[in-house]
Amino acid sequence: MRAVSEWRNLMTSAVPVTSKLPDIGVSIFSVMTRLANEHKAINLSQGFPDFDCDPALVEAVAKAMREGHNQYAPMPGVLALREGIAAKVEQLYGPRYDPVTEVIVTSGATAGLYATLTTFVRPGDEVMLFEPCYDSYVPVIRLSGGVPVFVSLRYPDYTVNWDEVRRAMTPKTRIILVNTPHNPTGMMWSADDMRQLQSIVDGTDILLIGDEVYEHIIFDGRRHESLLRYEDLRARSVVISSFGKTFHTTGWKVGYGLGPQALMAEVTRVHQFVTFTVHTPSQMAFAEFVRRDPGAKDLSAFYQQKRDLFLQLTAGSRFKPLPCAGTYFQLMDYSAISKETDKEIAHRLIVEHGVASIPVSAFLYEDAGGPVLRFCFAKRDETLRAAAERLVKI
Ligand code: PMP
Ligand code: GLN
């Protein structure tokens, strides 16, 4: 087999290329995972479990395949799964969505976000984002000619500053994107934040997009403040989630979006030309599993144990943990160790100490950020132990 480097730069393009995203490089998650592999470092960078999903889920996919569910699913998704999602949402958050017209299954949350943003963002529209923010929002907004407007969640507590939100609002504000629980900080929006949001959007035409992929990874008895819980908010919301986080299946790329029929009719129009439809056997399996355990009832405890183990194992280190209310990410303040930038220290941690993390500045556009790195604790206990052993020596 040829080495990858031998394949590089073999072809010359005969057409000039003007990038639509000139300042966007390879995703930080790919970069750090590649570096981790190159240096054989313990990979706590990209967010994915290093343990397997329930074998019964794999068996359910295999069974669906054996039973012949191998062709296109209905474009908006397998109906049994959409029914399962609607039932789950009703049970957990209250509202009853119509599985036929108000729920779609997407190729991960990424494609759900892509379809939703491209559906609604028009040239010149302002989309309010809270930074640090997940890396897929800004490129999609720009591809649609929209303008991201950033409100900072500031180190070290990353709470929403509502005065700043009010100052950032203009007549062009078309969308506010809310990600809770929040990647990368682990912060969660409070009921008071939701009340503030209600008062801000009341009487406007602002659409809300909820990225709630970590809805089932919530710690210390907190309540997930979904946009779906609030009647006036959900009436103007498309909420996106992902089975990847909930079922330890990030590689299957199955997610979903839901919202009022008038909004979803438009999102569905776009969705059919993004992926048209999603892997049928996985949808069949998730339909069964969502029905069986709509609230993923043991997941929060499972990850809370991992968060606490990681905190306990690193307690003797010079890294200082920041509060983590949800998600499977732990921020660590490294200011007692060095004055390097987060990118420099993240690189050095891989090369010299064999532990990969994510520099939080990769999620920042305007804010300067703080001296923090993000560590993913969706890992086997022995992986966390091995990583912590290295971190305490730094
Ligand atoms: N939003 C957030 C906040 C995420 O962390 C992720 C993935 N880690 C996604 C969206 C994308 O989810 P998916 O892998 O289902 O596309
Ligand atoms: N969302 C995951 C993270 O934050 C990674 C997803 C990706 O690699 N695009 O690490």
pLDDT at 261: 98
pLDDT at 7: 63
Digit-coded pLDDT (tens) for 150-174: 999 999 999 999 999 999 999 999 9
In angstroms, rounded to a whole number, what is the distance separating the alpha carbons of residues 226 and 170? 25
Compute the C-alpha angle 178/138/154, nearest 5°.
55
Calculate the alpha carbon distances from 147 to 80, 170, 280, 309, 360 in Å: 38, 12, 36, 41, 22
> Ligand 2 pocket test: which of 30, 46, 179 has the largest number of ligand atoms within 8 Å of its C-beta?
46
Q: How far is the CA of 105 from the centre of ligand 1 (A)?
A: 14
Query: Using an 8 Å Cβ cutoff, are 332 and 321 in contact?
Result: yes
* CATH classification number, 25-47+298-391, choose in 1.10.357.10, 3.30.360.10, 3.90.1150.10, 3.90.950.20: 3.90.1150.10
Q: Check if CATH label 3.10.690.10 holds for domain 55-292.
A: no
| 216 Cα to the center of ligand 1, angstroms | 13
Torsions phi, psi of 315, nearest 5?
Answer: -60, -35
Q: To the nearest whole number, what is the mean pLDDT of the chain?
A: 96
Residue 342 burial by Cβ neighbours in a 10 Å radius (0-12, 13-18, 19+): buried
Contact 80, 105 (CB under 8 A): no
What number of other Cβ atoms are within 10 A of residue 103's Cβ? 24
Does 1 have pLDDT greater than 60? no
- Report strand pairing: 207-211 vs 173-179: parallel
pLDDT at 10: 73
Specify the ligand 1 atom closest to the Cα of 211: 1
Does residue 377 register a pLDDT over 90?
Answer: yes
Neighbours of 351 (CB within 10 A): 12
pLDDT given for residue 9 in this prediction: 65
Q: Tokens 């941690």 map to which residue?
A: 349
Beta bridge partners of 173: 126
What is the full DSSP assignment across 301-315? Answer: HHHHHHHHHHHHHTT
* Mean pLDDT, rounded, for 109-138: 98
Q: Which of 110, 247, 271 to mutate to test the pocket of ligand 1 (most atoms within 8 A of CB)?
A: 110
Q: Percent of the chain, pLDDT > 70?
A: 98
pLDDT digits (tens, 9 = 90+) for 37-74: 999 999 999 999 999 999 999 999 999 999 999 999 99
Q: How far is the CA of 227 from the centre of ligand 2 (A)?
A: 22
| Model confidence pLDDT, tens digit, residues 67-109 | 999 999 999 999 999 999 999 999 999 999 999 999 999 999 9
Nearest atom, ligand 1, residue 255 CA? 15
> Is the shortest distance between the CB of 183 and ligand 1 below 6 Å?
yes
Provide the pLDDT for residue 375. 98
With cut-offs at 50, 70 and 90, classify the pLDDT of residue 11: confident
Task: Report the pLDDT value the prediction gives residue 43, as an integer from 0 to 100.
Answer: 97
What is the average pLDDT across 237-252? Answer: 98
Tokens 């959007």 belong to residue: 201
Q: Domain locations in the chain?
A: 25-47+298-391, 55-292
pLDDT of 394 higher than 60? yes
Average pLDDT value for residue range 1-12:
65
- CB 203: neighbour CB atoms within 10 A? 7
| Confidence check: pLDDT of 5 > 70 | no
Confidence of residue 251 (pLDDT cuts 50, 70, 90): very high
